[in-house]
Amino acid sequence: MDQDICMPQATTQATTQDLVSPSDSILRQTLRDAAMGVAWLDATGHIISVNQTLANWLNQNPSQLNGQPLGQFVPRLDEPLWRNLWHQLTYAPFSEPRTALVVEQESRLLDLLIQRLPGEQQDFAVVYLSASHNHREQNTLHNLQAEVLEAVARGKSLAESMGLLCQRVATLAPEVICTVLQVDEQGRVHPLAASSGMPEAFNKAIDSLPIGPSAGSCGTAAYRGEPVETVDIALDPLWDEYRKFALPLGLRACWSSPIKSRAGRVVATFALYYRQPRKSSPFHRQLVTACLHVCSLAIEHHEAEQRIHQLAFFDTLTRLPNRELLQEQAQRELLRAVREKRELAMFFLDLDRFKHVNDSLGHAIGDRLLVEISQRLLSNLRESDTISRLGGDEFVLLLPQCNDSHARVLAEKLLLAIAEPVTIDQYQFNPTASIGIGIFPRDGTDFESLLRNTDAAMYHAKGAGRNTYRFFRPEMNIAANERLVLESAFRQALHNNEIQAHFQPILRFSDQQLAGVEALARWQHPQRGMISPATFIPLAEECGLINRLDQAMLRAICQQLAQWRERGIVIPGVAVNLSAQNFREPDLAERVASVLQEFSIPPGCLTLEITESLMLHGAEHVLDSLQALRTLGVRLAVDDFGTGFSSLSYLAKFPVHELKLDQSFVRSLLEDGQIRALSSAIISIGHRLQLTVVAEGVETAGQLDFLQQEGCDMAQGYYFARPVPAAELEQWLARHQASNSNKQ
Ligand code: C2E
Ligand code: CA
Ligand code: CA
């Protein structure tokens, strides 16, 4: 028998004697130097004998190994595992999954084949260990990748699939502890997964620590965007702040690599820790390369999923939950409120006059205003509240454990927060909102009805003058219904040409003569009688019918003017109101030109009244349209001047002819010194810019006197005449001319 191998005595089974069979010594020689390690173990997993190959792999003499547990070199076979395995072993060969043989902290991959054999006194086992060649290692790494990616594809969470990865790495290289840390957008790390050797205390200690230029191996790797290898945690200055967490737990070296998203941001780190100061081995490097690849794929997949989730459930502009998510959350919260017998409030919040911002300044500015508002709302709500954007300028808030008095306090707080002035680019806004409030279960027993009712309450807040809130009351539903009814009636009216123009004279101060008339839309409803434009113009704007209305009006008015001209009735000019939405249509000037042409109206007879907010546009096309209209020869007037935005500076930039001092100024002229000063300033600025200044809403002689003294050019108002149908205007004109000639 060969010196180095002391073969246990097996009860050999029947051997086939063959003439050319090799001698026993050849057989032993073969076994001794076989290309595989062979170990004979007793029932407790201790070595009875090994062949030379295995002894070589372990850098020891075969005899030195006798009596040692093989498990100390092959972690798969350590004591508890072996005990388990031994009971399962049969006399047939048993193959273990690929495993590692660890010698002096280095692993090499092995295939194991184990067989139980009957001995003379007791059974023993033979373990055949065959080394994996390089391509086999590759294969193993591919298997690892495939296994983890399969977990990802099967919808396992990121933490689960990364956990699987760490566990597999630990099987292949039991001498390392493997961790994956996630790096959030604020640059803080969060343990995502680790192999079982990682002490939980370490994960806890480093959670939420910031990355930085010397933040241990992982924090630094994330910060630099490149791998960081710390050979000895005790000595590396990168670990100065973190050593205290690692050393007491037996972590001595660490090699960390950043994982980047497709966009290049470091989203995680993958690290191997060692229990001794040391460098990584070539096999570890191979392992890490394979893992980084899987990690970045898994994280990318996860991010894509989150994006899809984000798109499906969140508003892209404000990142607030959208209607779907609101509904889901509401259903949960409503159930909870029922269970806990508590109230819950829903707020329906709608910005006031937001449409004007969008129409006149463009969507980019409007969007930024919305984002600002959403942030103001967020900063005034609790963690447990849900705030969602339904679309446009509508926000819905879900407030668990909120009764009437809480809701009232919160509504007031929110209105104040929203009303803080905000500057976006050069524009200053004083945003306000209207809020409808519903309390569950009183004002609706399910999400849909609660939403409908708070919406109705919001409309009432608007109706009450905006910048306020209203609690839902059952009567409001009737009003909401009415609005729908009104909307459909309006469509019908537009279709049937039931909307007509009335005319209000505009007089020159200098000679008290008619300078022109303003055409104002009137809706004569067959049942309800006269409906005010203050009601149906906003309705038309909201349901997208305003352009049709304005263009129908323009046509009817030009037709009327042509008829007057034909009959020799002298109406010097007519002013027509145009909503800002008309300027969304690029061919506005052409349309106007074609109407003028159709009725042979000289363009100079037409004044288009636009609102001040339109002037504050961000969009080129508004300026282009205004320019084209001016080139066409029509006059342009800024309506309601002084109400919208506080900046006068833009007036010089725009090609307008006229400004109309808002009624609210004229109304308070005699009582309010400040308003008087402001009005004088507006008139003189207008004149400096060579604009005609028209005062609206003049009702008294006192107002008229003041305006005349200040040099205002023209006036209109009940003092002279109310807006009247065309025929009545003719009568008024006859009377006016008669009285004028009497005076002369
Ligand atoms: P606006 O352009 O400022 O029109 C002046 C409003 O003041 C008119 O109200 C007019 O009837 C009223 N008014 C005139 N003189 C006096 C006065 O001395 N005292 C008082 N208290 N009010 C006076 P109306 O006709 O109800 O129109 C309201 C608004 O509806 C208009 O305000 C205008 O912005 C809009 N509108 C009217 N017709 C049209 C239209 O055809 N198209 C568009 N886009 N808007 C229109
Ligand atoms: Ca007007
Ligand atoms: Ca006006």
d(CA 401, CA 407): 10
Confirm or reject: Cβ of 537 under 6 Å from ligand 1: yes
Q: Between 291 and 146, where is the model more confident?
A: 291
> What DSSP line would sit under 610-679, residue for residue?
EEHHHHT---HHHHHHHHHHHHHT-EEEEEEETSS-S--GGGGGS---EEEE-HHHHHHTTT-HHHHHHH
Return the pLDDT at 240.
Answer: 95
557, 577, 665, 719, best to mutate for ligand 1 pocket (most atoms within 8 Å of CB): 577
Is 395 in contact with 387 (CB distance < 8 Å)? Answer: yes
d(CA 210, CA 184): 9
Q: What is the mean pLDDT of residues 340-368?
A: 90
For residue 41, pLDDT beyond 90:
yes
pTM: 0.50
Q: How confident is the model at residue 76 (pLDDT cuts 50, 70, 90)?
A: confident
d(CA 468, CA 460): 9
Q: What is the mean pLDDT of residues 696-708?
A: 96
Distance 669 CA to ligand 2 centre (A): 20
In the chain, the amino acid numbered 18 is D
Distances (CA, A) of 606 to 395, 510, 558, 567, 573: 41, 21, 9, 18, 6
Least confident of 84-93, 628-637, 639-648, 685-694: 639-648
pLDDT digits (tens, 9 = 90+) for 587-603: 999 999 999 999 999 99
Confirm or reject: Cβ of 444 under 6 Å from ligand 1: no
For residue 293, pLDDT beyond 90:
no
Percent of the chain with pLDDT strictly greater than 70:
92
For residue 486, pLDDT beyond 90:
no
Q: How high does pLDDT run on average in the chain?
A: 87
Is 212 in contact with 223 (CB distance < 8 Å)? Answer: yes
Q: What is the mean pLDDT of residues 389-406?
A: 93
For residue 470, pLDDT beyond 90:
yes
497, 498, 520, best to mutate for ligand 1 pocket (most atoms within 8 Å of CB): 520
Distance 520 CA to ligand 1 centre (A): 6
Confirm or reject: Cβ of 438 under 6 Å from ligand 1: no
Question: Which numbered ligand comes closest to the C-alpha of 583?
Answer: 1
d(CA 420, CA 398): 23
Confirm or reject: Cβ of 533 under 6 Å from ligand 1: yes
Least confident of 216-220, 302-306, 326-330, 332-336: 302-306
Question: Which numbered ligand comes closest to the C-alpha of 550?
Answer: 1
d(CA 443, CA 337): 14
d(CA 142, CA 149): 10
Return the pLDDT at 10.
Answer: 46
Return the pLDDT at 19.
Answer: 57
Least confident of 18-22, 309-313, 402-406: 18-22
Residue 306 phi/psi, 5° resolution? -65, -40
pLDDT digits (tens, 9 = 90+) for 539-564: 888 778 899 999 999 999 999 999 99
In the chain, the amino acid numbered 589 is A
> What DSSP line would sit under 386-399, residue for residue?
EEEEEETTEEEEEE
Return the pLDDT at 648.
Answer: 57
> What DSSP line would sit under 407-449, residue for residue?
HHHHHHHHHHHHHS-EEETTEEE---EEEEEEEETTT-SSHHH
- Local structure of 546: helix, strand or coil: helix
Is 153 in contact with 302 (CB distance < 8 Å)? Answer: no
d(CA 22, CA 46): 31
Q: What is the mean pLDDT of residues 664-681?
A: 85
With residue 351 as reference, give the H or E element that holds it: strand 344-351
For residue 136, pLDDT beyond 70:
no
Confirm or reject: Cβ of 607 under 6 Å from ligand 1: no
For residue 743, pLDDT beyond 80:
no
Distance 662 CA to ligand 3 centre (A): 6
Q: For residue 699, give the ligand 1 atom closest to its CA.
A: 18
Confirm or reject: Cβ of 723 under 6 Å from ligand 1: yes
Distances (CA, A) of 49 to 20, 121, 378, 529, 584: 29, 16, 72, 111, 91
End-to-end C-alpha distance for the chain, whole angstroms: 148
For residue 646, pLDDT beyond 50:
no
Confirm or reject: Cβ of 642 under 6 Å from ligand 1: no
Return the pLDDT at 11.
Answer: 47
d(CA 664, CA 611): 15
Least confident of 64-73, 107-116, 213-222, 485-494: 107-116
Distance 545 CA to ligand 3 centre (A): 21
Return the pLDDT at 238.
Answer: 96
Least confident of 174-178, 349-353, 665-669, 679-683: 679-683
pLDDT digits (tens, 9 = 90+) for 107-121: 777 778 888 888 888
For residue 618, pLDDT beyond 90:
no
Contacts of 396 (CB under 8 A, 6+ apart): 323, 326, 346, 347, 348, 349, 387, 388, 389, 390, 451, 454
Our CA angle for 507, 508, 514, nearest 5°, is: 45
Return the pLDDT at 684.
Answer: 84
pLDDT digits (tens, 9 = 90+) for 197-235: 899 999 999 999 999 999 999 999 999 999 999 999 999
- Local structure of 380: helix, strand or coil: coil
Return the pLDDT at 616.
Answer: 57
Return the pLDDT at 491.
Answer: 92
- Which residues are within 5 Å of ligand 3 (an ion), measured at CB? 639-640, 696
Distance 534 CA to ligand 2 centre (A): 12
- Looking at the DSSP bridge assignments, the partners of residue 179 are 194, 271
Q: Whose C-alpha lies nearest to ligand 1, atom 10?
A: 723
Task: Fill in the DSSP letter of residue 719.
Answer: T
Joined together, the tokens standing for residue 510 give: 């200098």
